C-alpha cells in the first residue's frame, strides 16, 4: 500500500522561531509551544497515537506560528488536524453553544431584547459559569433584533441600480449580533458605484466549529457555502467578507483544514479592504471629507495570516485627517470562543495584556480593528471604544 | 498598491535599508517570508575580522582597502560603511539597545563553545575582550549555568577557551545555579530552553521585589572571586543588557552573557528592536508573505506578486532584494545549478559542481560556495539575462564576492550594503527628506 501520510511538516528545521512567537506559550507554561505540539509531536503521533499530548488543547489557532515560520510549515494546521484525529477536542454542550454561532443567532435574535438583558444579569452569568463553564467575567455579545439580512431586504431595489455587483458574505456576527459593519460596507461600496448582493443562503464560515472540533459540521457548511459562491459569482464580481477570520477560513482553511477544494474561485473571495484598495489603485476612490481623529490600529492575527494588514492600513491612510498609530502586532488573547471558556480566561487576559497596555499608554480617540472578537476583548479591557475601518471610511464619505 | 520602496527580506540588511528609507520619508514596505536569521545570530555585529591566512584583524577599515574589487565593501566604500554602522548604532540606541566598540578596533566576543570571534559592535551585556590579548587581567573564569538548561555546557565552553594560549593557564570554575535557589518552578523539559527560562524568571523571580538580589547572591556564591563570570543569555529578551549591568553593580563582578543555541535572546532582541524602529518611522512590515516573481519592463522592475495575494501586485519605484543566502533561501541550488529563486537574477557561480566546494569539509579552507551570490554593478544593481536592472538593489548575504563566516564580515556587509542601497534610492527620490 502506498504511504499517504502527509509529511510536509518535516520541512521543519527545528529553529524554534514559532515557539518564540506563540502567544499561548508566552503566558502558559502548560503549553509546550507550536514546535513541540506541531511538527515534533507529529513524528511521535505517526509512530504511536498514544503519544498524543493533551496539552494541544491550549492552542488557540491564532496562526502566528505559520506567519513566523521561515520554512513554510503549516504548524497551526498540523496541530488542528492532530486534535481532530486524536480526539483532542472536548465537545460538550458549552462547545456546541459557543461554536454553532448561526444556530444560536437564529434562535436568539427574535427574542433579542430579552436575551440581551438576561445575559447581562449576574445570576444568569453565574449560572452559565457554573453549568457550562462560560466565564462570568466575560461580557457576552449582544444580539440584534433586526438581523442584517432583514435590514438588507429594504436595500435590494437600491442595490439593483448599480451595474457592478459584489456578493457579501456577512458572517454570523454581522447578521445576528451587530449589523453596523455590514451597513457601512454597503454605504462605502455604493459610494464607489458598486452594488451589494447577498448569497441566497449562507452558513457560518466554520472558524468556531474548527476551533471546537466540529469538523464534520464545518465541512458541511463549507460545501454549502462553496455552492452558494459558485452560484452568486455568475452575476457578481467576487465574494467579500468584512471579518478577517471568515475570509481566512473561506480562502485558506477550506482546502487546508477541511479539504474542501476552492481553487477555482479562491482568488474571487476577498477580504473587504483588499477589494477596496484594489479599486483605489484603479482610480475608483470616493470623495472623502476629513475625519479628524487620532486612532490606534490593532492587527488581528487572522488578518496578519492572510497578508491583509497592508490593505487595511492602505484604506485607513487614505482617509483624510485620520492619524493612525499602528500598535505592535500582539495577539489580544480572545481568539473567538477561546477566551469565553472558564479555564482559558486567565490565559486570554494575560495574552491580551500587551495590547491593553499599549493602548492605555497612548492618548487616542478610538481603537480600530477589523475583527469583532478582538473588538470585544479590547472594549472589555480598556476604556476605549473600538471601530471597524469601514466605519471610519463610511464616516468620511462626503 | 503603490509604494516608494519595496524591501524583500526582513533581516539585518533589509531592515537597515528599510529604516533608512522610512526615515527619509519614503513609503516603504518590507515583505518577509518568516523570521530572519537574526533570531539565530549572536546579537553582535562583525565588520571584517579574519584575514585569508586566518589571522585576526584589529583595524577592519584599514584591512578592507586591500580586498578585491568584487567584494561588496569595495563597491560600498569604507566611508559609506562607517556611516551605515553609525546610523545602525543610533537606530539601536533609539530602540533602547546600546552597542559598544573598542574605539577603532575590533574586539573579541566569546561564543558558547569558548571560541573568540572578532566583532565590531557588541551589546552591553556581552563583555568585550581585547582581540589579541583576550585573557588580559583574567586569571579565574567562572562559567555558570542554570541547572538543567541543556543549550549551554560550561565544561564544553571551558575546554574551548583553554585552547586559547591566554586562557590555557587560567583557572576555571564551573557551576550550576539550582532552579530551587531561584525559586523558579519548571515542571517540563521544554521550560528549560533560553526563551522559556527568561519567561519563567520574569514570572517567578524578577516579579519579586528582591528577585534580582536572589540571583546576584547566587551568582556571587557560585563565582567566588572570578575575574570574569560567563553566563548563558537566558535572563531576558527585552532589557537583558540592563539586567547584566545591574547584576554587575550588585555583585561587583565582571559578567558576560553569551548567546546560546537557538533561539538566541541577544539576536531576538536586535530583531525586535529593528522592527520596532521601522514601525515607529511609519514603515509597513508584511510578514509571512513571500514574493513569488516580479514584473520587468525596459530593465526596470515595476511590481512584485506575492503568495498570499497574487492577483494584487504591489508596485514601487525602487526595490531592495535582501533575501539572504542559502540558509534563508535567498539562493537556491539543485544538483547542477545555483539560482536566485525570486526574480531569476544572474548568479555568479562556476558551472561545474566540482568547483562549488572543497572535497575536504573542515580543513580550515573556505569553500567556494560561500562566495557565490548575485553579481552586481558597482551600485549594487543586479543583472537579469545579462541586463542590468536599474531600480533594483541587492544587499546582504545574497551578494557574491565575500565569505561572511571565514572573514567574519556578515554584519558589516548587511548593514553597509543595506545603507548604501537605501541612500542610492533616496538620492533619486525628490520627495525624500534629507535627514543625514
Question: How much is the ipTM here?
Answer: 0.93
The domains of chain B, with CATH numbers, are 2-95+268-428 (3.50.50.60), 127-258 (3.40.50)
CB count in 10 Å sphere of residue A157:
8
Who has greater pLDDT, A309 or B188? A309
Amino acid B274: pLDDT: 97
- Provide φ and ψ at B123, rounded to 5°: -75, 155
Amino acid B358: pLDDT: 86
CB of A304 within 8 Å of any CB in chain B?
Answer: yes
Amino acid A252: pLDDT: 95
Asked whether A314 and B27 are in contact (CB, 8 A), the reply is no
State which residue of chain B sits closest to A73, comparing Cα positions: B34
The C-alpha atoms of residue A385 and residue A223 are separated, in whole angstroms, by 37
Chain A residues whose beta carbon lies within 8 Å of the beta carbon of residue B311: 267
State which residue of chain A sits closest to B276, comparing Cα positions: A328
**How far does the CA of residue B418 sit from the closest CA of chain A (Å)?**
21
Amino acid B367: pLDDT: 84
The domains of chain A, with CATH numbers, are 7-85 (1.10.1060.10), 294-397 (3.40.50)
**How far does the CA of residue B337 sit from the closest CA of chain A (Å)?**
21
Chain A residues whose beta carbon lies within 8 Å of the beta carbon of residue B27: none
Q: Which tens digit of pLDDT belongs to each residue from A222-272?
A: 999 999 999 999 999 999 999 999 999 999 999 999 999 999 999 999 999
Which has the closest alpha carbon to A159: A203, A190, A180, A138? Answer: A190
Q: Which tens digit of pLDDT belongs to each residue from A373-394?
A: 999 999 999 999 999 999 999 9
The C-alpha atoms of residue B248 and residue A241 are separated, in whole angstroms, by 55
**Burial code of B25-49, b = ≥16 C-beta within 10 A, e = fewer?**
bbbbbbbbbbbbbbbbbbbbbbbbb
Chain B residues whose beta carbon lies within 8 Å of the beta carbon of residue A29: 186-188, 191, 196, 199-200
Nearest to B34 among A26, A69, A328 (CB): A69
Look at A320-324, B184-188, B201-205 and tell me which has the smallest mean pLDDT: B184-188
What mean pLDDT do residues B396-421 have? Answer: 96
What mean pLDDT do residues A110-118 have? Answer: 91
**How far does the CA of residue A199 sit from the closest CA of chain B (Å)?**
24
What percent of chain B clears pLDDT 70, i.e. is strictly above it? Answer: 99
Q: What is the mean pLDDT of chain B?
A: 94
pLDDT tier, B436 (very low <50, low <70, confident <90, very high otherwise): very low
Does the pTM surpass 0.90? The reply is yes
Chain B residues whose beta carbon lies within 8 Å of the beta carbon of residue A308: 309
Amino acid A3: pLDDT: 59
CB of A16 within 8 Å of any CB in chain B?
Answer: yes
The verdict on a CB contact (< 8 Å) between A17 and B310 is no
Amino acid A90: pLDDT: 87
What mean pLDDT do residues B21-26 have? Answer: 97
CB count in 10 Å sphere of residue B305:
16
Nearby residues of A87 by Cβ (< 8 Å), 6 or more positions away: none
Give Cα B24 distance to the centre of its chain: 24
The C-alpha atoms of residue A298 and residue A330 are separated, in whole angstroms, by 8
Dihedral sign for Cα B230, B234, B33, B421, please: negative
CB of A23 within 8 Å of any CB in chain B?
Answer: no
pLDDT tier, B434 (very low <50, low <70, confident <90, very high otherwise): low
Dihedral sign for Cα A300, A305, A308, A309, please: positive
The verdict on a CB contact (< 8 Å) between A307 and B289 is yes
- Provide φ and ψ at A134, rounded to 5°: -95, 115
What mean pLDDT do residues B234-260 have? Answer: 96
How far, in Å, are A300, B272, B361 from residue A181 at the CA level?
Answer: 16, 34, 62
Who has greater pLDDT, A159 or B336? A159
What mean pLDDT do residues B34-61 have? Answer: 94
Chain B residues whose beta carbon lies within 8 Å of the beta carbon of residue A311: 1, 312
Amino acid B359: pLDDT: 85
Nearest to A70 among B35, B190, B309 (CB): B35
Amino acid A4: pLDDT: 67
Helix A180-191 vs helix A272-281: crossing angle, to nearest 10: 10
pLDDT surpassing 80 at residue B183: yes
Q: Which tens digit of pLDDT belongs to each residue from A75-103?
A: 999 999 999 999 888 889 999 989 999 98
The verdict on a CB contact (< 8 Å) between B1 and A281 is yes
Amino acid B157: pLDDT: 98
Amino acid at each position: 500500500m502506498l504511504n499517504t501520510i502527509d509529511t510536509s511538516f518535516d520541512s521543519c528545521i527545528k529553529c524554534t522561531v514559532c515557539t518564540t512567537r506563540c502567544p499561548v506559550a508566552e503566558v502558559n507554561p502548560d503549553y509546550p509551544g507550536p514546535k513541540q505540539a506541531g511538527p515534533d509531536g507529529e513524528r511521535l503521533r505517526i509512530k504511536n497515537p498514544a503519544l498524543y499530548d493533551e496539552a494541544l488543547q491550549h492552542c488557540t489557532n491564532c496562526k502566528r506560528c505559520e506567519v513566523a515560520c521561515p520554512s513554510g510549515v503549516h504548524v497551526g494546521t498540523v496541530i488542528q488536524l492532530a486534535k481532530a484525529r486524536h480526539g483532542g477536542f472536548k465537545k460538550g454542550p458549552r462547545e456546541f453553544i459557543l461554536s454553532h454561532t448561526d444556530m444560536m443567532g437564529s434562535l436568539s435574535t427574535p427574542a433579542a431584547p430579552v436575551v440581551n438583558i438576561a445575559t447581562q444579569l449576574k445570576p444568569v452569568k453565574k449560572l452559565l459559569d457554573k453549568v457550562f463553564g462560560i466565564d462570568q467575567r466575560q461580557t457576552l455579545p449582544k444580539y440584534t433584533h433586526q438581523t442584517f439580512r432583514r435590514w438588507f431586504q429594504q436595500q435590494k431595489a437600491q442595490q439593483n441600480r448599480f451595474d457592478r455587483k459584489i456578493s457579501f458574505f456577512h458572517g454570523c456576527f454581522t447578521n445576528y449580533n451587530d449589523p453596523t459593519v455590514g451597513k457601512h460596507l454597503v454605504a462605502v461600496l455604493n459610494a464607489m458605484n458598486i452594488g451589494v448582493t447577498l448569497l441566497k443562503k449562507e452558513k457560518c464560515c466554520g472558524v468556531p466549529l474548527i476551533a471546537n472540533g466540529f469538523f464534520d459540521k464545518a465541512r458541511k457548511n463549507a460545501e454549502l457555502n462553496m455552492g452558494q459562491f459558485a452560484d452568486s459569482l455568475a452575476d457578481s464580481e467576487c465574494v467579500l467578507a468584512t471579518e478577517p477570520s471568515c475570509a481566512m477560513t473561506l480562502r485558506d482553511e477550506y482546502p487546508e483544514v477541511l479539504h474542501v477544494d476552492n481553487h477555482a474561485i479562491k482568488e474571487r473571495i476577498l477580504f473587504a479592504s483588499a477589494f477596496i484598495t484594489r479599486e483605489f489603485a484603479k482610480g475608483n476612490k470616493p470623495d472623502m471629507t476629513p475625519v479628524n481623529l487620532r486612532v490606534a490600529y490593532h492587527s488581528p492575527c487572522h488578518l496578519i495570516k492572510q497578508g491583509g494588514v497592508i490593505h487595511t492600513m492602505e484604506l485607513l491612510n487614505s482617509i483624510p485627517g485620520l492619524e493612525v498609530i499602528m500598535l505592535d502586532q500582539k495577539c489580544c488573547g480572545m481568539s473567538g470562543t477561546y477566551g469565553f471558556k472558564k479555564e482559558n480566561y486567565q490565559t486570554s487576559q494575560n495574552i491580551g495584556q500587551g495590547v491593553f497596555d499599549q493602548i492605555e499608554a497612548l492618548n487616542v480617540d478610538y481603537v480600530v480593528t477589523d475583527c469583532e472578537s478582538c473588538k470585544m476583548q479590547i472594549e472589555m479591557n480598556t476604556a476605549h471604544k473600538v471601530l471597524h475601518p469601514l466605519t471610519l471610511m463610511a464616516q468620511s464619505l462626503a | 498598491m503603490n509604494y516608494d520602496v519595496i524591501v524583500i527580506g526582513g533581516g539585518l540588511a533589509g531592515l537597515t535599508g528599510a529604516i533608512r528609507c522610512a526615515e527619509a520619508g519614503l513609503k516603504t514596505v518590507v515583505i518577509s517570508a518568516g523570521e530572519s536569521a537574526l533570531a539565530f545570530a549572536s546579537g553582535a555585529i562583525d565588520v571584517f575580522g579574519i584575514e585569508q591566512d586566518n589571522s585576526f584583524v584589529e583595524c577592519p577599515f584599514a584591512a578592507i582597502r586591500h580586498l578585491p574589487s568584487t567584494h561588496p565593501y569595495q563597491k560600498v566604500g569604507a566611508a559609506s560603511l562607517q556611516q551605515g554602522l553609525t546610523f545602525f548604532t543610533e537606530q539601536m540606541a533609539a530602540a533602547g539597545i546600546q552597542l559598544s566598540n573598542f574605539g577603532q578596533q575590533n574586539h573579541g566576543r566569546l561564543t558558547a563553545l569558548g571560541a573568540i570571534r572578532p566583532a565590531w559592535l557588541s551589546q552591553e551585556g556581552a563583555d568585550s575582550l581585547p582581540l589579541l590579548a583576550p585573557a588580559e587581567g583574567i586569571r579565574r573564569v567562572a562559567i555558570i549555568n542554570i541547572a538543567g538548561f541543556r543549550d549551554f555546557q560550561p565544561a564544553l565552553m571551558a575546554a574551548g577557551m583553554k585552547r586559547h594560549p591566554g586562557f590555557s593557564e587560567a583557572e576555571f570554575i564551573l557551576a550550576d545555579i539550582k532552579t530551587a535557589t531561584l525559586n523558579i518552578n519548571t515542571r517540563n523539559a521544554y521550560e528549560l530552553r533560553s526563551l522559556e527560562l527568561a519567561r519563567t524568571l520574569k514570572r517567578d523571580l524578577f516579579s519579586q521585589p528582591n528577585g534580582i538580589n536572589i540571583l546576584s547572591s547566587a551568582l556571587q556564591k557560585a563565582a567566588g572571586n572570578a575575574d570574569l563570570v560567563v553566563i548563558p543569555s537566558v535572563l531576558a529578551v527585552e532589557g537583558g543588557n540592563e539586567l547584566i549591568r545591574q547584576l554587575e553593580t550588585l555583585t561587583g563582578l565582571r559578567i558576560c552573557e553569551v548567546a546560546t543555541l537557538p533561539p538566541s535572546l541577544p539576536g531576538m532582541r536586535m530583531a525586535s528592536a529593528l522592527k520596532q524602529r521601522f514601525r515607529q518611522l511609519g514603515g509597513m512590515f508584511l510578514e509571512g508573505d513571500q514574493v513569488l516573481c516580479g514584473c520587468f519592463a525596459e530593465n526596470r522592475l515595476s511590481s512584485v506578486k506575492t503568495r498570499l495575494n497574487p492577483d494584487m501586485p504591489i508596485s514601487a519605484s525602487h526595490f531592495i532584494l535582501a533575501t539572504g543566502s542559502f540558509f534563508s533561501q535567498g539562493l537556491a541550488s539543485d544538483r547542477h545549478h545555483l539560482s536566485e529563486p525570486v526574480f531569476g537574477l544572474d548568479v555568479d557561480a562556476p558551472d561545474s559542481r566540482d568547483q562549488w566546494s572543497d572535497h575536504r569539509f573542515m580543513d580550515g579552507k573556505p569553500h567556494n560556495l560561500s562566495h557565490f551570490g548575485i553579481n552586481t554593478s558597482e551600485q549594487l544593481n543586479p543583472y537579469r539575462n545579462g541586463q542590468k536592472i536599474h531600480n533594483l538593489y541587492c544587499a546582504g548575504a545574497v551578494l557574491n564576492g565575500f565569505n561572511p563566516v571565514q572573514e567574519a564580515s556578515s554584519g558589516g556587509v548587511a548593514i553597509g550594503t543595506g545603507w548604501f542601497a537605501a541612500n542610492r534610492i533616496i538620492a533619486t527620490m525628490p520627495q525624500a527628506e534629507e535627514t543625514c
